[in-house]
A = this chain, B = another copy of it.
Amino acid sequence: MNDRFLRACRRQPVDATPVWFMRQAGRYMKEYRALRERHSMLDLCRTPELAVEVTLQPIRRFPLDAAIIFSDLLLPLQPLGLPFDFFKGDGPRVERPIRSEADIDALSPIEPREALAHVLEAIRLTKRELDGRVPLIGFTGAPFTLASYAIEGGHSTQYAHTKALMYGNPAAWHRLCALFAETAADYLLAQVEAGADVVQLFDSWVGVLSPADYREFVLPHCRHIFDRLKPSGAPAIHFGTGTATLLPLLAEAGGEVIGADWRIPLDDAWALIGPERAIQGNLDPTLLLAPTGRLVAAADDVLRRAGGRPGHIFNLGHGILPGTSVEAVEVLANHVHAFKAAGSGTGLGHQP
């Protein structure tokens, strides 16, 4: 197996920097658009054979070092009692958003092995298809990000309802997040059992919180998830955007790998999370829309800041945008692999 990605998660030397991309399966690929013409987003997520096919599309097309199961971070919401769907140009919409303590108390715990069995089946089938070519990543949404969708009902700019509930009824907030955290831990452990080599917790929108609010309202719940994952031995990636001032707290909550976005230079981010963590990131995904020269120069800047230290996984700071060209993705993946850190001789913390 190509184990660059797993080695980097464990901060072991590698022959080249591993690279994968968030949303590496998606609208920018014509193979994906062809499937989406016949199937809804939720159909793709809920039909194991289709999820496998979409998961493998980018692996066939690009020299990536990891696959990520095709799914959505919101999937646990429906079985928990919060049905939702995706609407074009508008993103996910939750049918009856949470607005009160009673709405929270109406939710009931789930057993992800049953309620999300289709994802676990997709993971098992994908592992078989991959046949050891590259590791497979499982994932789910983190408590704050799930809560923000559940409370706002969709994307938000101000998170006013979410924060109003958080500030106004901390006990109810913590009950909601404890339910999301327990579900996430059960679900990620089940994904590891099904074959996921690594798991990623997406706290995509947590960057709208102050450090003090993160510590009070989010950290304990994320820590619970990572504590429960530890015995599995599978490395965990802790991801968010807009987290420049939250990175030390994300590291404190847990994760062998911490994700960073482009708003903070990679070396500054690594200094904040500490040398005992691996780091994933952090190119601005809009650079894939730029001319090749600028794209490659920006990637070089990220790689130079990583400085060939073991424990860097190259990725974007967020998902690939729909308007991206497959050629740009291919150029970038190849460029990352070809990069040699200055002064590192034959390579990056070269594998002996």
Contacts and interface: CB of A to CB of B under 8 A. Distances in A.
A170 to B, nearest CB: 9
B286 A158 contact: yes
A168 B289 contact: yes
A62 interface: no
A181 to B, nearest CB: 22
Contact of A168 (B245, B264, B291, B321): B291
B284 A213 contact: yes
Contact of A167 (B157, B209, B213, B294): B294
A133 interface: no
A117 interface: no
Contact of A244 (B159, B208, B244, B323): B244
Given A167-B286, A212-B301, A160 B263 contact: no
B167 A263 contact: no
A183 B164 CA distance: 39
A101 to B, nearest CB: 14
B210 A290 contact: no
Contacts of A159: 286
Contacts of A164: 286, 289-290, 323
Interface in A238-257: 242, 244-245
A265 B209 CA distance: 11
A163 interface: yes
A81 interface: no
Contacts of A212: 265, 298, 301
B245 A242 contact: no
A212 B305 CA distance: 13
Contacts of A298: 212
Nearest to A163: B286
Contacts of A290: 163-164, 167-168
Which among A168, A207, A244, A285 has the greatest number of chain B C-beta atoms within 10 A? A244
Contacts of A301: 212
A155 interface: yes
Nearest to A213: B284
A196 B351 CA distance: 64
Given A168-B291, A263-B207, A290-B167, A160 B321 contact: yes
A269 B325 CA distance: 39
Nearest to A297: B212
B242 A291 contact: no
A339 interface: no
A160 B138 CA distance: 28
A160 B289 CA distance: 8
Nearest to A323: B160
Given A157-B155, A158-B321, A210 B262 contact: yes
B284 A163 contact: yes
Nearest to A269: B245
Nearest to A264: B245
Nearest to A282: B210
A113 to B, nearest CB: 34
Nearest to A287: B167
Contacts of A265: 210-212, 245
6 contacts: A168-B290, A168-B291, A207-B263, A212-B301, A244-B245, A245-B263
A-B pairs, 3 with minimum CB distance: A167-B290, A163-B286, A164-B289
